């Protein structure tokens, strides 16, 4: 049966054998490369250790972020409380100023009334003197 096959079939078998041989050589080379990579990886820190360190750094970053957020919220609350206190103080000072102005107006009115009363007494005193001088 082999003798009945045409020479082209024999050539095809040789080509297939050559391709298989080349493919085998490529696979051998890839196997050697992968073995070298495996050895390099074994010399490096274990992947699990690196992943654990990455996770630890991520946790630390998350904790720092949460701490900063809490600190910002606390600071914001303190600022709000300070603003409220300042507003209350400002309102109290405004009320004191209004009272002082009202008191000043009242004092001016009393001073004016006292001034008029003094002037009236001065006039009466002068009349009384004039009357006393006239009766002497």
Gap between the Cα atoms of 103 and 66, Å rounded: 55
Query: What are 8-37's pLDDT values in tens digits?
Result: 877 888 898 999 999 999 999 999 999 998
Site of tokens 């009272």: 99
pLDDT per position as a tens digit, 49-70? 877 888 999 999 999 989 999 9
pLDDT at 3 over 70: no
The C-alpha atoms of residue 69 and residue 76 are separated, in whole angstroms, by: 10
Distance in Å from the first CA to the final CA of the chain: 181
Q: How far is CA 5 from the centre of its chain?
A: 84
Q: Transcribe 14-79 into DSSP letters.
A: HHHHHHHHHHHHHHHHHHHHHHHHHHHHHHSPPHHHHHHHHHHHHHHHHHHHHHHHHHHHHHHHHH
- Residue 23: inside a domain, yes or no? yes
Structure tokens at 84: 């409220």
The chain-wide mean pLDDT, for the chain, equals 87
Residue 26 domain-assigned?
yes
Query: C-alpha 17: how far from its chain's center?
Result: 70
pTM of the model: 0.42
Which bin fits 6, alpha (ψ -120 to 50), beta or left (φ > 0)?
Answer: beta
Structural domain that includes position 16: 1-44
Total domains in the fold of the chain: 1
């Amino acid at each position: 049966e082999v003798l009945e096959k045409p020479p082209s079939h024999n050539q095809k078998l040789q080509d297939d054998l050559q391709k298989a041989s080349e493919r085998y050589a490529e696979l051998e080379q890839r196997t050697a490369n992968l073995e070298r990579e495996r050895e390099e990886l074994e010399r490096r820190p274990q992947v699990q250790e690196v992943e654990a360190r990455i996770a630890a750094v991520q946790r630390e970053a998350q904790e720092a972020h949460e701490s900063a957020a809490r600190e910002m919220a606390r600071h914001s609350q303190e600022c709000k409380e300070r603003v409220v206190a300042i507003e209350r103080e400002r309102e109290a000072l405004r009320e004191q100023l209004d009272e002082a102005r009202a008191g000043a107006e009242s004092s001016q009115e009393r001073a004016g009334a006292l001034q008029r009363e003094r002037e009236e007494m001065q006039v009466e005193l002068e009349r009384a003197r004039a009357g006393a001088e006239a009766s002497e």
